Structure 1
Amino acid sequence: MRSPTTAPRRTSLVDLAALAGIVLACLAVGYLGSLATAPNLEPWYANLVKPSWTPPDVAFPIVWTILYVAMAVAAWLVWRTSADPGSKRRALVGFGVQLALNGAWSWAFFAAQSPGSGLVVIAALLAAIAWTVRAFWRISRPAGILMLPYLAWVCFAAALNLAIFTMNS
């Protein structure tokens, strides 16, 4: 049962504008990451040795778009609660940190053409996501739940990054 301090208020135009802004911010991070990724798919990434369980390239933008929207909704749910302002601020700062690390990974892995650098960034990203999931969960269980597929996907991406690093070292 939801506690009265974390119950969401009625949706207003300000709330909808905030949701749109958060969705755009998340998708912008994805777009900025694609600027590092796209020019390095051929020939660099295509020529790396990859495990048999590597998803096809077409899967990544589809999955990431869905995850960015889910992450944005999660952040919005936290933003619009009546929870303690300090808790909300810390949770949303954590969200911002993990979002920045999310974007940084594409630059470390693809733009720098360095699976090793990607591993360093993705390890920090996983820690930041786990912290954010925990913080969101405490404020809004639905927000925490919305972040779980993202955490799972980044765990998978970390395993893939590690396999690529190992197979190409």
Structure 2
Amino acid sequence: MERSNIIKAINSIALTVGLGAASGYVTVREIPTWYATLNKPSFNPPNYLFGPVWTILYILMGISVYLIWKLPPSPHRKKAINLYLLQFVLNLAWSIIFFNQHQIFLALIEIIVMWFGILLTIFAFSKFSKLAAWLLVPYISWVSFAIILNTAIWLLNR
């Protein structure tokens, strides 16, 4: 692997995991306080599961975007990376909306928009790399579950 690709790989994974960890840092203060007071459905995972799951998902996302970033520049590649960045910003924003602003319904609307952003990113990435697209499937699967969970929490707490 070329030195520039090694740097791109490290940056892709480190930035994705690092920003995801920062989002988790914002979230963690609300877990024992506000989040603990919410009514949650029986299928709500235990709190200790979220950190490891998101870490794995962020690593997969970082590898996925690296596989696209390392390719020769083109307008289509730029569009694919911009879609990735858009859905990632939405990912980070969800934590703020849900955990910091305590806006459960707004977070639900936002995560649905994020889901479509992930889907568009998968389609865009698949034109360049099937592996890059497939690496995002666990992510969209988890976000699909998160939509169901967010919906249930909203319904139980309105």
Q: How does 1:24-63 map to 2 (within 5 A)?
A: 24-63=14-53
Residue 132, structure 1, aligned to residue 114, structure 2: no
Provide TM-score, normalisation by structure 1: 0.90
What runs of 5+ residues in structure 2 fail to find an aligned partner? none
Matches for 1:7-26 after TM superposition, within 5 Å: 11-26=1-16
Cα root mean square deviation, aligned: 1.1
Distance 2:105 2:19 in 1: 21
Is 1:80 matched up with 2:70? yes
Shift of 1:116: 1.1
Between the aligned partners of 1:16 and 1:70, the Cα distance in structure 2 is 16
**Map of 1:156 onto structure 2:** 145
| 1:55-112 deviation digits (Å, cap 9, x = unpaired) | 1101101000000000110111111234x61111000010001111100000000001
Q: Which residue of 1 aligns with 2:60?
A: 70
How far does the alpha carbon of each residue in 1:13-34 deviate from its partner, in whole angstroms, 9 at most, with x for none?
Answer: 1101111111121112212212
In the superposition, the TM-score normalised over structure 2's length comes to 0.96
The amino acid across from 1:166 in the alignment is L
Runs of 4+ in 1 over 6 A off after TM superposition: none
Does residue 1:166 correspond to 2:124, yes or no? Answer: no
Residue of structure 2 aligned with 1:91, choices 70, 80, 87 = 80
Q: Rg larger in 1 or in 2? A: 1
State the alpha-carbon separation in 2 of the partners of residues 80 and 30 from structure 1: 22
Counterparts of residues 87-126 of structure 1 (less than 5 Å): 87-126=76-115
| 1:23-58 CA-partner distances (Å, limit 9, x unpaired) | 121112212212321111122101111111111101
Q: Is the 8 A contact 1:29 1:99 kept in 2?
A: no
Which runs of 5 or more structure 1 residues have no equivalent in the other structure? 1-10
Identity, in percent, stands at: 32
